Amino acid sequence: MLTITKENIIPYLKEHMPDFDDSGSVTVSQVGDGTPEEDGDGYVNYIFRIHTDKGNYVLKQGRELARTGQDPIALYRNKLEYDSMRIRYAIVPEYTPFLKFQDKENNLFVMEDVSNLRIVRFQLNKNRMFPDLGRKCGECMAKTEFYTSEYFLSRDEYRRLQTKFANTEMRKIMEDGAFMDIFKTEVERGLGEEFNNFARGIMYDPRFETERFKLRRNFMSHADALIHADLHTSNIFASEDAMKVIDMEFSFMGPFGYDLGYLTGNLVSQYCAACFKPFPSEAERREFKAYLLATIKSLFESYFKTFTECWNQDAKERYQGAGGLCHSILDEVMQDAPGYAVIVNWFRCTGEIEYPDFDVIENLEDKRHAQTLSLMIDWQLMFQRYQFMSVDDLIDTVLYVEEEYRKTL
119 DSSP β-pair partners: 237
Rg (CA), the chain: 21
| Model confidence pLDDT, tens digit, residues 245-255 | 999 999 999 99
Cα distances from 365 to residues 339, 349, 350, 361, 403, in angstroms, run 28, 14, 16, 9, 18
Question: How many alpha carbons fall within 13 Å on the CB side of residue 379?
Answer: 20
pTM (2 d.p.): 0.94
Element (H, E) at 236: strand 236-238
pLDDT of residue 256: 98
68-72's contacts with Cβ under 8 Å and 24+ in sequence apart are: 68/43, 68/44, 69/43
Per-residue pLDDT of the chain (409 residues; tens, 9 = 90+): 899 999 999 999 999 999 999 988 999 999 877 766 666 655 678 999 999 998 999 999 998 877 666 677 788 899 999 999 999 999 999 999 999 999 999 999 999 999 899 999 999 999 999 999 999 999 999 999 999 999 999 999 999 999 999 998 888 888 888 888 777 666 666 788 888 889 889 988 999 999 999 999 999 999 999 999 999 999 999 999 999 999 999 999 999 999 999 999 999 999 999 999 999 999 999 999 999 999 999 999 999 999 999 999 999 999 998 899 999 999 999 999 999 999 988 877 776 666 788 989 999 999 999 999 999 999 999 999 999 999 999 999 999 999 999 999 8
Model pLDDT, residue 193: 87
Which pLDDT belongs to residue 149? 98
Q: What distance in Å separates the CA atoms of residue 43 and residue 89, rounded to the nearest whole number?
A: 25
CA distance 360 to 356: 6
Kindly report the CATH number that applies to the domain delimited by 118-407. 3.90.1200.10
Distance CA 135, CA 333 (A): 17
With vertex at residue 182, the alpha carbon angle to CA 176 and CA 183, rounded to the nearest 5 degrees, is 105
Tally of CB atoms within 10 A around 176? 13
Q: Do domains 9-112 and 118-407 have the same CATH topology?
A: no
Which parts of 73-148 fold into alpha helices (H)?
77-91, 120-125, 133-146
Coil vs helix vs strand at 59: strand
The domain spans of the chain are 9-112, 118-407
Q: Give me the DSSP letters along 292-315.
A: HHHHHHHHHHHHHHHHHHHHHHHS
CATH assignment of 9-112, among 3.40.50.970, 3.30.200.20, 3.40.250.10, 3.30.420.40? 3.30.200.20
Contacts 24+ apart (CB under 8 A), 290-295: 291/129, 292/124, 292/267, 293/395, 293/398, 293/399, 294/134, 295/133, 295/134, 295/267
CA angle, corner 237, sides to 232 and 241, nearest 5? 130
3-class DSSP state of 252: strand
pLDDT of residue 372: 95
Burial status of residue 258 (CB atoms within 10 A of its CB: 0-12, 13-18, 19 or more): buried
pLDDT of residue 301: 98
Asked whether 142 and 260 are in contact (CB, 8 A), the reply is no
Torsion of the alpha carbons at 283, 288, 291 and 293, rounded to the nearest 10? -100
